[in-house]
Chain A
Amino acid sequence: MKAIEVNGVTKQFGALKVLKDINLTVEKGEIFTLLGENGAGKSTLINILATLSAQDCGTVKILGLDPIKQGNQVRPLIALNAQDTTFDAEFSGLDNLKLIAKLRGIQNIPAAIDRVSRQLDLTEFLARKVKTYSGGMRRRLDLAMSLLGDAQVIFLDEPTTGVDPKNRLALWQMIEAIRDAGKTVFLTTQYLDEADALSDHIGFIRDGVIVKYGTPAEIKQRVTATYTITVDEQQVQLAQQLLNEAHIAFTNTNARFNLHADVAAKAMSLMLDHHINVLHYDRDEADLESVFLAINDQENNHAND
């Protein structure tokens, strides 16, 4: 059984189509990241998955259950951590945690609160009113409120937005710890480095469409695979001449020739046939930022065509 299955989901608000035929699956025990800019449809999808909203078309399953028809069975299995922190700032952190624990029907409330407050490094602040907390502490408290109980699928909607780098790193570690505890994390973010560092799988969403889906490595490979051929410095001019004559596009810095994956093998054999001394033949590692830019370029080109 998959943790999350989304098939052909669409959602429209008035004339605005926010989600267009979304398909994705999330395995149990993995971190799936939905990556996209503001307004791409991330929160709309998370609201559907978290039983807050119904899709117009398509099907959704959470651990095999329909969030709309079987919402009462789904809700004990999920936890939602929304973009905005939602607590009573005039109450203490402990009061806020107690409220959620009571609502979740947790039997041993002190033990459950002790566990999450240790996990999120909140223990010493629990007695203080939340209005005295820093931004990072507030975010950790909000996450602690979501982690109370025994939810199996945790939805984290941009949990690190507006969080300073130190707390962001701490939140990353906590998200990984959730996954390591066997739970499934559905994360949305605008941060490429976050998706790259945490995700088992990533879906790029743009204008309500998932334009790329895969592991971080697969996505990097598919979108921007380039190769670098390094030749003997004495033979740079000859190599340039050969590539130009063969109409192979390249860029080069001194003896390093950068080529697209489609033509890299042809360029390599051409050089070897002409006895050019190839010192290195390397596949370049792309970062997600370049993937993101490439996807945007591709989509913009499609739009212009």
Chain B
Amino acid sequence: MQTIKQLNALTARIVRQNLTNADTIITVIAMPMFMLLFFVYVLGGNIATAGGAGSATTYLRYALPGFLLLTMAMGSAYTSLRINNDRTSGFLNRLHSLPIPRWVILGSHVLASLIFMLLAELAVFVVGLIMGYRVHATIGSVLLFVGLSMLFGLAITLLAIPFSLKADNYASAGGFSYVLLMLLFVSSALMPTKGMAKAVQIFADHQPMTPIVNTARKLLDHSVSLSHNTSIIAGIWLVAGILIFAVLSYRVYAKMYLTK
């Protein structure tokens, strides 16, 4: 019971740090909202996503799931920043000298990261609803979408940990998130891959973000056709990513902090 209280206290601290920091809110919530508005109302009409001529409405329906994952990816930079800040300030050392189970210390960062990413995702989703997006799916599918988001959030949070622990300062701690964003941009997140240059299209079709985004899109919109393979590939990428990044995170953390 005491362990749960400790986990709650530390998680609440980090969520509060995120929600009371203007820079975090602007980058993780306001910026994806602005990008969504810009892409839908400025570019959307010129992007054909459903075979015919493009329109803002059809583009919004296509791109919102991608923007939701993009929002989470932007949040991962702040996960890394918070952990790095705790390390460089000595706060992690203070925590390690307290009677707290070791897993709670980074566990609280992981939990806080997931909560904040989901809150940010929800905020962007509400903007999408206001813009006219409508969910064409069952409650079960929506819950599966939330589950997929959590797996995606967990994978990129675990990826953030080694960078946050190794980086000399907070500015470089979040650098890896640019790679995540680039992967999302060069995927089916914001536009179909079939219009891309051939080499780029091959890359986009075979990198992890495309099946993950396509699965997310399918879960929110049952009218989108999708092979089962895509969902399975997305699941494999996510589970493999979580396992690999968890091992990597643990090894870096153990080397730095676990004395036995």
- CB neighbors of B among A74-105 (8 A): 75-76, 78-80, 82-84, 86-88, 90-91, 99-100, 102-105
The chain A residue with its CB closest to the CB of B94 is A86
A258 contacts the other chain (CB 8 A): no
CA distance A99 to B90 in the complex (A): 16
Asked whether A75 lies within 8 Å of B97 as measured between CB atoms, the reply is: yes
B198 contacts the other chain (CB 8 A): no
Contact (A76, B259) CB under 8 Å given A90-B20, A103-B6 = no
Asked whether B99 lies within 8 Å of A86 as measured between CB atoms, the reply is: no
Contact (A84, B90) CB under 8 Å given A54-B259, A68-B259, A75-B99 = yes
Asked whether B259 lies within 8 Å of A104 as measured between CB atoms, the reply is: no
Q: Could you tell me the distance in whole angstroms from the C-beta of A266 to the nearest C-beta in chain B?
A: 54
Q: 1/0 contact trace for A40-84 toward B, CB 8 Å?
A: 000000010011111000000000000111011001101110111
Give chain B's interface secondary structure class.
Answer: helix
Asked whether B9 lies within 8 Å of A104 as measured between CB atoms, the reply is: no
Q: Could you tell me the distance in whole angstroms from the C-beta of A66 to the nearest C-beta in chain B?
A: 10
Q: Could you tell me the distance in whole angstroms from the C-beta of A129 to the nearest C-beta in chain B?
A: 10
One of A71, A82, A91, A102 near B94 (C-beta < 8 A): A82
Q: Could you tell me the distance in whole angstroms from the C-beta of B230 to the nearest C-beta in chain A?
A: 43
The chain A residue with its CB closest to the CB of B9 is A102
B98 contacts the other chain (CB 8 A): yes
Asked whether B5 lies within 8 Å of A102 as measured between CB atoms, the reply is: yes
Asked whether B13 lies within 8 Å of A82 as measured between CB atoms, the reply is: no
Q: Could you tell me the distance in whole angstroms from the C-beta of A230 to the nearest C-beta in chain B?
A: 54
B93 contacts the other chain (CB 8 A): yes
A-chain residues with CB within 8 Å of residue B93 when the two chains form the complex? 47, 52, 80, 82, 86
Q: Could you tell me the distance in whole angstroms from the C-beta of B218 to the nearest C-beta in chain A?
A: 41
CA distance A265 to B50 in the complex (A): 106
CA distance A104 to B95 in the complex (A): 10
- CB neighbors of A among B65-99 (8 A): 89-91, 93-99
CA distance A145 to B93 in the complex (A): 14
One of B6, B21, B89, B98 near A90 (C-beta < 8 A): B21
Asked whether A99 lies within 8 Å of B9 as measured between CB atoms, the reply is: yes
Interface size class of B (residues with CB under 8 A): 20 to 34
B260 contacts the other chain (CB 8 A): yes
CA distance A103 to B108 in the complex (A): 12
The chain B residue with its CB closest to the CB of A67 is B259
A-chain residues with CB within 8 Å of residue B97 when the two chains form the complex? 50-52, 75, 78-80, 155
Q: Could you tell me the distance in whole angstroms from the C-beta of A153 to the nearest C-beta in chain B?
A: 11
Asked whether A82 lies within 8 Å of B90 as measured between CB atoms, the reply is: yes
B2 contacts the other chain (CB 8 A): yes
B-chain residues with CB within 8 Å of residue A51 when the two chains form the complex? 96-97, 259
Asked whether B98 lies within 8 Å of A86 as measured between CB atoms, the reply is: no
B-chain residues with CB within 8 Å of residue A76 when the two chains form the complex? 99
The chain B residue with its CB closest to the CB of A102 is B9
The chain B residue with its CB closest to the CB of A142 is B94
Asked whether B96 lies within 8 Å of A52 as measured between CB atoms, the reply is: yes
B17 contacts the other chain (CB 8 A): yes
A-chain residues with CB within 8 Å of residue B35 when the two chains form the complex? none
CA distance A69 to B9 in the complex (A): 27
Asked whether A88 lies within 8 Å of B260 as measured between CB atoms, the reply is: no
Give chain A's interface secondary structure class.
Answer: loop
B10 contacts the other chain (CB 8 A): yes
Asked whether B259 lies within 8 Å of A52 as measured between CB atoms, the reply is: yes
B100 contacts the other chain (CB 8 A): yes
Q: Could you tell me the distance in whole angstroms from the C-beta of B24 to the nearest C-beta in chain A?
A: 11
B-chain residues with CB within 8 Å of residue A102 when the two chains form the complex? 5-6, 9
CA distance A155 to B13 in the complex (A): 25
Asked whether B259 lies within 8 Å of A86 as measured between CB atoms, the reply is: no
Asked whether B99 lies within 8 Å of A99 as measured between CB atoms, the reply is: no
Q: Could you tell me the distance in whole angstroms from the C-beta of A208 to the nearest C-beta in chain B?
A: 19
CA distance A82 to B98 in the complex (A): 13
CA distance A91 to B260 in the complex (A): 34
B-chain residues with CB within 8 Å of residue A80 when the two chains form the complex? 93-94, 97
The chain B residue with its CB closest to the CB of A82 is B90
Q: Could you tell me the distance in whole angstroms from the C-beta of B13 to the nearest C-beta in chain A?
A: 6
One of B17, B20, B89, B260 near A86 (C-beta < 8 A): B89
Asked whether A90 lies within 8 Å of B9 as measured between CB atoms, the reply is: no
Q: 1/0 contact trace for A177-214 toward B, CB 8 Å?
A: 00000000000000000000000000000000000000
Contact (A103, B10) CB under 8 Å given A52-B97, A82-B93, A86-B89 = yes
The chain A residue with its CB closest to the CB of B14 is A88
Q: Could you tell me the distance in whole angstroms from the C-beta of A305 to the nearest C-beta in chain B?
A: 38
Asked whether B259 lies within 8 Å of A90 as measured between CB atoms, the reply is: no
CA distance A79 to B96 in the complex (A): 11
Contact (A104, B99) CB under 8 Å given A80-B94, A82-B93, A84-B90 = yes
- The 6 closest A-B CB pairs, nearest first, are A80-B97, A54-B259, A75-B99, A102-B9, A84-B90, A76-B99
A-B contact list, 29 entries, CB within 8 Å: A47-B93, A50-B97, A51-B96, A52-B93, A52-B97, A52-B257, A52-B259, A71-B259, A72-B99, A75-B98, A78-B97, A80-B97, A82-B90, A82-B94, A84-B89, A86-B90, A88-B13, A91-B13, A91-B16, A99-B9, A102-B5, A102-B6, A102-B9, A103-B6, A103-B9, A103-B98, A103-B100, A105-B2, A105-B99
